[in-house]
Structure 1
């Protein structure tokens, strides 16, 4: 069985890597963005207990998977069941460049225009990765990575892409 968890800053390439691994390994793919937020505007985070229902359903329905996101509080639920973790620990400048060039994500935004309207806020948020202390922070991700005792890899660039 293959069970991979990918985490890092927004714009680090989590979704791209997860989609590639899912395709090559025939793995079920869960983007935590799809289960972390209520479908309201302005965005409002779902409670961890609400999100955990979706996570448990996904884990129960799939033996081989890749799960990706920046939510340490949610990732803590799945890492004990993972075979491997990948921490995309890219420089902030690379994450910002990736965010600027990201294709439309229809599972997150109703249009490319709606996605682009959020770009300035996203870039500001990305830029505070190293100084934040929340569940989305570099500090929280480093703790997840350090705590995992299985197969783990840290990438500091997107050069791992094939």
Structure 2
């Protein structure tokens, strides 16, 4: 039984690593992007209570899982149930490069063109990681990592 949380900046490789772990270790996979946002334009965050319900339902339905995302407020809801956390603490420039080269994410975008249309905004978002102080920031991720009691791993480069 394994319960893993992966977090870091956008473009750090969270989804890629989570998919690999899920496949190799037969873990159920929850990408927090799928529950963090309402399907409205412009996008709006789902309420914390509604996201918490989704996280708790996922955890209760699966004995072994990997949850990944950049939302410290949501990650904190899952960490009491986790055995391990993995912090992908890559340099911002590596995250930007990864974002530019990421394959189409059909669970987030209707097609690759729609994904690429969002790329300039995403690169700007990634670039602010070190200076933000919100739930998506490096500061918040460092605090989550330091406070976690259990197996902790930090990667500072793509493997």
Segments of 4+ moved more than 2 angstroms = none
- DSSP-derived class of the 1:158 partner: coil
CA-atom RMSD, angstroms?
Answer: 0.5
TM-score under structure 1 normalisation?
A: 0.97
Residue number in structure 2 paired with 1:80: 80
Map 1:117-156 onto structure 2 (within 5 A).
117-156=117-156
Q: Provide the rounded CA distance (Å) in 2 between the counterparts of 1:149 and 1:4.
A: 13
Q: Quote the offset at 1:52 in angstroms.
A: 0.8
| Structure 1 gap segments, 5+ residues each | none
Q: Quote the offset at 1:53 in angstroms.
A: 1.1
Q: Provide the rounded CA distance (Å) in 1 between the counterparts of 2:112 and 2:41.
A: 17
Map 1:42-57 onto structure 2 (within 5 A).
42-57=42-57
| Structure 2 gap segments, 5+ residues each | none
Q: Deviations over 1:105-129 (max 9, x none)?
A: 0000011000000000000000000
Residue number in structure 2 paired with 1:66: 66
Q: Provide the rounded CA distance (Å) in 1 between the counterparts of 2:51 and 2:39.
A: 13
Q: Provide the rounded CA distance (Å) in 1 between the counterparts of 2:157 and 2:139.
A: 18
Q: Provide the rounded CA distance (Å) in 1 between the counterparts of 2:21 and 2:108.
A: 20
Map 1:86-101 onto structure 2 (within 5 A).
86-101=86-101
